[in-house]
Amino acid sequence: MNWAEEEYGVEQLRKEKRDIIRAYRSLMKPGKTRLKTKDKELIRKAFDVALEAHRGMRRKSGEPYIFHPLEVAKIAKEDIGVGPTGIVCALLHDVVEDTDITLLDIEQLFGKKVAKVIDGLTKISELFHQNSNLQAENFKKLLLTLSQDVRVILIKLADRLHNMRTLGSMPGEKARKIASETLYLYAPVAHRLGIYNIKSEMEDLSLKYLEPEVYGEIRDKLQKSKAVRTRFLNRFSLPLKRELKKAKLSFDISGRTKSIFSIYEKMRRQNIPFEEVYDILAVRIVLNANRENEKADCWKAYSTVTDFYKPNPERLRDWITSPKANGYESLHITVMSPTGKWVEVQIRSKRMDEIAENGYAAHWKYKSEGEDHAVDQWIERIRETLENSDTHSEDFIDEFRLSLYEKEIMIFSPKGDMISLPSQSTPVDFAYEIHSQLGDQTIGAKVNGKLVPLSYHLQTGDQIEIIKSSKGKPSEDWLKFVKTAKAKSKIKSHLKTEKKKFAGLGRTILRRKMRELGIKFEQDNYYRIAYLFNLPTLDDLFYQVKNEGLDLNQLNKLKIEKGLIKNNFRKTKNAIITEVGGRAQIASKSENIEGVEYNLANCCNPIPGDKVFGFMNRNNLFDIHRSNCPKALELRSHKHYRVIEAKWTSEHSLAFLVGVKLSGIDQLGMVNELTNIISQDMDINMREVHFESVDGVFQGEIRVYVTNRQHLNDLMRVLNKVKGVEKVERIDDTK
């Protein structure tokens, strides 16, 4: 009996073998991806290689590692719809990184195409394993790989989704870091590729680990109201089915419940409770129509629905005539139901529905000869931007992430060519989209024949003409208003060239200080110094040193071993225990360091009792943020190395300024009653009171000093009982 049998038992190993075979057979079942005999043979070969390569390896959950690539392959096949090559790559996606198998072995066994995808996947795995300066650079490599073979990112999305499904086996802080990372980058990428089923599940699972209480509350309320939604759907769709049949349309009607994360976002954005989210249920009509008839059939169904239910004309969305940038096609209308509630109805063909769910991968199934998909254009734009950019700033990740959710506008060149640009793009963005040289030489612009500022926000339908001059050059002010990553990249590249002229002396000055401290002139040391001062590039570092904008004495605090900087705070897993009054303790297994200074972040204004975390700022001080701070997602994802856990330990008689917003029906003496309750009944000091009333409805904001979260909750509960007050809510940002 070998060591594995001794540890897990013969029967347990037999059961695992049966489960592995069952998982493999589940993968090979007929589904969205049709497999030929030779495809099945290649997939079996990949499975055998992966099984042998991962033999003896186990996941954090304790199960054999081979279950992970099998599940990733299944997600890629069924939920995304990749072809046989994609399934093979999914099965092999971890072998080069985690086992003795090399990329050359993969190429010899499966060919160059598979090896190229595996190489891309291996590089992506390094993305979040590096310090931040390498993260941005690796992220650019990820996008370049994506632009060469989109299967890399499709499989990576499947890999990340399965990791999210099994996140329960990870420690709390590690799970929150992965969830933040997923919500910050992977879900937006899935959105941009139109893979809504993957995107929604990623968002829901991320919320489950970042805000477990909120997630559980919404999940439970959805479950309790499920029967009500089912009855409503049956009543609403019954007459539609009858009318659609009369119109001789072949169709399926179903209800689509809003995802937990979407409901959470709407509640947070509009400051409303679950009960006030009216569009939790959408009705979807999917037509079985031929490609040549599908548009006409969709409008025919639209006519049938609006004949029966009164539509809201302002809520018509025609994404069939003008599909979204990620290829999404559908008609959306909002109609009044018999119960007096607005209901969204989505009308699309079966082809459109498959693309809506599976996104870019499904597009290939229907692509015509010579047809160019909107995502193809977006990927081409990424490739061009990256290949002509040498920036490795963290700003690049932020800019790219924002572009994933951008709405697009259609504008026209002087010759009538239609150009797609992100919403709020400017003439400068348009110029760089046409040609880099045109962007550099831009000095003015005409829109619809009239001169406009270069910061003018273009609108769909605008026709634009760029005025240029050979003496023109990019201005740093342009960075304040340009929208596209391409324009920003080109402008920064030009400014960087200018800045390099002045950075040489700064490098010499810095080297003098490094030599004094015994720090080697190595690239990684330079990057660590740049991040010590929170500067995005080495040129910025040298430029700032030259201009005496940095205190180089800060380098004296660094720990140096054999000429290398050991930046302890970047890898710390310690917990900061905050103590009211501007001081804190760092609790570590090996040491206790007292007297660490911290600030309460203005962006979310935490008070004792709030769930909080610490973030080390550019001055090496800790900012304390609420766990649901608007900046939490960014800080916990690609700046996670500066984040440590935090909690309150003591609550002295200190007062914390918070804002409270009230609204309701105005009544005589309302303001006087509210202020008396605050100052006299509850003995709470007020710094500021502002109320205004319009047509009998009042809105008010007060700034008060409370000792902790319970104190604030007590105040809000009392104010909510005042006659006429409809809503009381906390204001995050207290200036």
| Neighbouring C-alpha atoms within 13 Å toward the C-beta of 735 | 1
Beta-ladder partners of 646: 576, 612
Same fold, 219-365 and 656-731: no
pLDDT value for 139: 58
What span, in angstroms and rounded, lies between the C-alpha atoms of 599 and 107? 54
What span, in angstroms and rounded, lies between the C-alpha atoms of 724 and 729? 15
What is the secondary structure of 10-53 as a DSSP string?
HHHHHHHHHHHHHHHHHHHS-SSS---HHHHHHHHHHHHHHHHH
- Where are the chain's structural domains? 3-169, 219-365, 570-648, 656-731
Beta-ladder partners of 584: 578, 596
Domain spanning 219-365: CATH superfamily: Beta Polymerase, domain 2 (3.30.460.10)
Catalytic residue among 16, 98, 126, 634: 98
What span, in angstroms and rounded, lies between the C-alpha atoms of 147 and 135? 18
How many other CB atoms are found less than 10 A from the CB of residue 268? Answer: 13
Pairing type for strands 575-579 and 643-648 reads parallel
What span, in angstroms and rounded, lies between the C-alpha atoms of 12 and 373? 50
pTM of the predicted structure, to 2 decimals: 0.67
What is the secondary structure of 366-411 as a DSSP string?
HPPTT---HHHHHHHHHHHHHHT-----HHHHHHHHHHHT--EEEE
| Neighbouring C-alpha atoms within 13 Å toward the C-beta of 457 | 8
How many other CB atoms are found less than 10 A from the CB of residue 568? Answer: 9
Catalytic residue among 16, 97, 318, 465: 97
Query: Residue 63 has what DSSP assignment?
Result: S
Active-site residue, 276 included: no
Task: Answer for the pair 719, 589: CB distance below 8 angstroms, yes or no.
Answer: no
Rg of the chain's alpha carbons, rounded to an integer?
29
For the chain (735 residues), the mean pLDDT of every run of 10, in chain order, is: 56 83 87 80 91 86 88 89 88 87 89 87 62 50 63 88 89 84 84 85 93 92 91 91 90 91 87 83 91 90 91 87 79 89 91 80 54 60 58 54 66 82 89 89 91 90 90 87 84 79 82 88 83 76 78 84 71 46 47 59 83 78 83 75 74 74 86 87 86 86 86 89 88 63
| CATH 3.30.70.260 is the classification of domain 656-731 | yes
What span, in angstroms and rounded, lies between the C-alpha atoms of 41 and 261? 40
Active-site residue, 354 included: no
Task: Answer for the pair 355, 329: CB distance below 8 angstroms, yes or no.
Answer: yes
pLDDT value for 23: 87
> How far from the centroid of its chain's Cα atoms is residue 333's Cα?
27
pLDDT value for 401: 59
Angstrom distances, CA of residue 697 to CA of 277, 667, 701, 726 = 22, 9, 14, 10
How many other CB atoms are found less than 10 A from the CB of residue 285? Answer: 26
Domain spanning 3-169: CATH superfamily: Hypothetical protein af1432 (1.10.3210.10)
What is the secondary structure of 521-554 as a DSSP string?
--HHHHHHHHHHTT-SSHHHHHHHHHTT-S-GGG
Q: Please state the length of the chain.
A: 735
Angstrom distances, CA of residue 170 to CA of 60, 207, 216, 727 = 7, 15, 19, 39
pLDDT value for 203: 94
